[in-house]
Amino acid sequence: MRRSIKGIFISAIASALLLTGCSTGQSSTESKKEEKVSFENVPERFADGDGAKIKVIRKIGGDDHTAQYLAGAKEEGEALGFQVDTYTANGDTAKFHDAIAQALEEDYDGYIISHGDDAATVNDVQKLVDAGKSVVTFDSISDLSKIEGVTLTSQDDEALATLAFDKLIKEQKGEAAIAYLWVDGFPPMVRRNKVYQEKLKDNPGIKEVERFGVASADTSVQTQNAVAAMLNKYPKGKLDAIFATWDAFAIGAARAIKEAGRDEVKIYGIDVSNADLQEIQSSESSWSYTAAVDPKLIGAVNMRILAKKLAGEETPQTYDLEASLISQKQIQASKEAVNMVNLSDIVDGWGVSTEFEEDWMKVLKDHYKK
């Protein structure tokens, strides 16, 4: 009986200690939440550890380049302790503008707008700025430069077009019948087309015999069908090369050429993704060169610029990301499968940039590292 009472007594004490421990633990957690976190040399905007709420909205989609871009922005933002939500309208103009309007109602701190190509985009961004929001844009309409405080980023489209088309001219020895894959209306396409037209004028031996271009959720499929029809229209010896101003065009063209057994028709493209690299590595691929900027890095740099804006730091009105030229020979010479991660082992400087990465950002990244 005594043992029983003693056991009950000990159990009661243990329970009390357990409850006390739980209570103490809860209070400690709550006090930690209430305690202001201090980051040395971090701007006041982020010194309390609250981070920021960011929305990334892209008009075009349905391709790996878009997926990489959004992933880059999201990973960089989350590394800084931000909440990052992404959305792609897959080329649907109405959905794109609705998404911006809805995002404003959801009260995000900052916005990254990608591929806004019309006057309505300017109106949308003006509303965001009027509401006191920070905005960075990518490959969007140049009229956005009229809005104070907005940074317009882009790939160096002139360099991209020049790198790829100069290779076409050189390899074809200045004489070729080509198909041009391009779509109007998008600022980067307009810039690339300007270079193309100038190159044609300076190289009269390069003749455009066909062109095609559509931006949609199934661009690659539609391009594949269109190029297949071109190959039927132009038998061997009548079509020498294809200049593709977007990788969604290039991958569709590559598939059509492979199916038709027309590997003498070489592709010179712009942009790159994992799907593209897989195609270029194929021994049967006719994709000779592609000029590109790492889309994941673009997203990351855009996020850094936005973070600087939120911190009240100075940012440029425009910024162009440097282009690289990637050759099929480089890719096929690799002893292992090449992807967007290890592409840096082949192309110097690929996927790496310290642009706009401030020391205080490194402090935040170390703090939020999982």
Could you report the per-residue pLDDT of 169-222, keeping only the tens digit for each?
999 999 999 999 999 988 899 999 999 999 999 999 999 999 999 988 899 999
> By three-state DSSP, how is residue 316 classified?
coil
Contact in structure between 318 and 151 (CB atoms under 8 Å): yes
Angle between the N-to-C axes of helices 295-310 and 64-79, in degrees from 0 to 180, rounded to the nearest 10: 40
* Residue 134 structure tokens: 């920070």
pLDDT at 107: 87
pLDDT at 63: 83
* Residue 201 structure tokens: 């004028």
For 78-90, write each residue's pLDDT tens digit. Answer: 999 999 999 999 9
| Alpha carbons 370 and 366: distance in angstroms, whole number | 9
pLDDT at 18 over 60: no
Contact in structure between 296 and 77 (CB atoms under 8 Å): no
pLDDT at 370: 65
pLDDT at 5: 38
Phi and psi angles of residue 34, each rounded to the nearest 5 degrees, phi first: -80, -25
Tell me the mean pLDDT in the region 20-35.
38
> By three-state DSSP, how is residue 237 classified?
coil
Q: Amino acid identity, residue 199?
A: K
For 305-321, write each residue's pLDDT tens digit. Answer: 999 999 999 999 999 99
| Alpha carbons 370 and 365: distance in angstroms, whole number | 9
Find how far residue 272's CA is from the centre of its chain. 11
Among 355, 186, 145, residue whose Cα is nearest residue 270: 186
The torsion defined by the Cα of 211, 216, 218 and 222, in degrees rounded to 10, comes to -20
Looking at the DSSP assignment, which residues form a beta bridge with residue 212? 181
Phi and psi angles of residue 140, each rounded to the nearest 5 degrees, phi first: -120, 175
> By three-state DSSP, how is residue 57 classified?
strand
pLDDT at 31 over 50: no
| Alpha carbons 294 and 343: distance in angstroms, whole number | 10
Question: Which position has the token pair 């929001």?
Answer: 133
Which run of H or E residues covers position 212?
strand 206-212
CA distance to 10, 82, 122, 216, per residue, from 360 (Å): 53, 14, 32, 40
Give alpha helix (H) positions in 117-173: 119-130, 157-171
- Better-scored residue on pLDDT, 107 or 23: 107
Which run of H or E residues covers position 294?
none
Rounded to 5°, the CA angle 237-238-241 comes to 90
